[in-house]
């Protein structure tokens, strides 16, 4: 499956997972069922051959089958956040961005190290998007109380600082040597060093 994803063959991956991911062996193993559901949801929402709205709704339904409303699994929560963010990109409806934030933030609050800050960075990004939306068209300046947009921006900055602080220590951990070769991690490290964070 990793090869198919690297080659961006999401349609083929989706078809294989749909065929083999609902068998009795998968249904009988809770952990495997969650992993398969995550991969099915990912391949479904990224499949370019499916209609946009339908594939996003289908991907969410797949995640609901593994108890999306109560899960603390960061990968599942991050996928749900990404799907709702995509729904917002397509529709412009702010409620989807709010739902995206809820899932990303739930993933972030369960811990940073295990997903290397992925849900946290996305939480901060969505907070900034919502703050921009809330402050656009408003010329009023708060007199005493900070606006919701300002509070969201502050929260986003706090999250970024916390992630930078926690993840910087991973570079000295020999078990995390593979991270130094990952462009997304080293680029983030370079960006943080330029702004003096961490």
Closest CA to 37 of 8, 6, 77: 77
Residues in the chain: 198
Question: Which run of H or E residues covers position 55?
Answer: helix 52-64
Is the whole-model pTM more than 0.95? no
pLDDT recorded at residue 117: 87
Q: pLDDT tens digits, residue range 69-121?
A: 999 999 999 999 999 999 999 999 999 999 999 999 999 998 766 788 899 99
Residue 146: both structure tokens together = 């900070």
pLDDT value, residue 89: 96
User: What are the structure tokens assigned to 103, written together?
Assistant: 């899932």
Whole-number pLDDT of residue 196: 37
- CA dist 93 → 24, 48, 97, 98, 193 (Å): 39, 22, 7, 9, 36
Cα separation, 159 vs 188, in Å, equals: 14
Please list the ranges in the chain whose pLDDT falls under 50. Answer: 143, 188-198
What is the predicted pLDDT for the residue at 192?
39
Which residue ranges make up each domain of the chain? 1-66, 71-168
Angle at 71 between CA 66 and CA 77, to 5 degrees: 90
pLDDT of residue 165: 84
């Amino acid at each position: 499956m990793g090869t198919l994803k690297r080659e961006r063959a999401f349609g083929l991956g989706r078809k294989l997972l749909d065929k083999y991911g609902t068998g009795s062996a998968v249904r009988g193993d809770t952990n495997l069922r969650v992993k398969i559901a995550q991969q099915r949801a990912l391949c479904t929402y990224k499949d370019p051959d499916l209609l946009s709205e339908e594939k996003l709704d289908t991907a969410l339904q797949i995640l609901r089958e593994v108890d999306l409303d109560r899960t603390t699994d960061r990968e599942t929560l991050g996928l749900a956040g990404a799907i709702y963010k995509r729904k917002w990109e397509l529709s412009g409806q702010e409620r989807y961005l709010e739902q995206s934030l809820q899932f990303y933030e739930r993933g972030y609050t369960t811990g940073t190290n295990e997903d290397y800050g992925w849900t946290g960075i996305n939480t901060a990004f969505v907070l900034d998007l919502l703050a921009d939306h809330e402050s656009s068209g408003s010329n009023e300046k708060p007199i005493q109380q900070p606006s919701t947009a300002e509070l969201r921006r502050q929260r986003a900055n706090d999250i970024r600082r916390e992630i930078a602080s926690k993840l910087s220590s991973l570079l000295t951990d020999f078990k995390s040597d593979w991270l130094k070769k990952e462009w997304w991690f080293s680029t983030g490290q370079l960006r943080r060093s330029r702004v003096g964070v961490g």
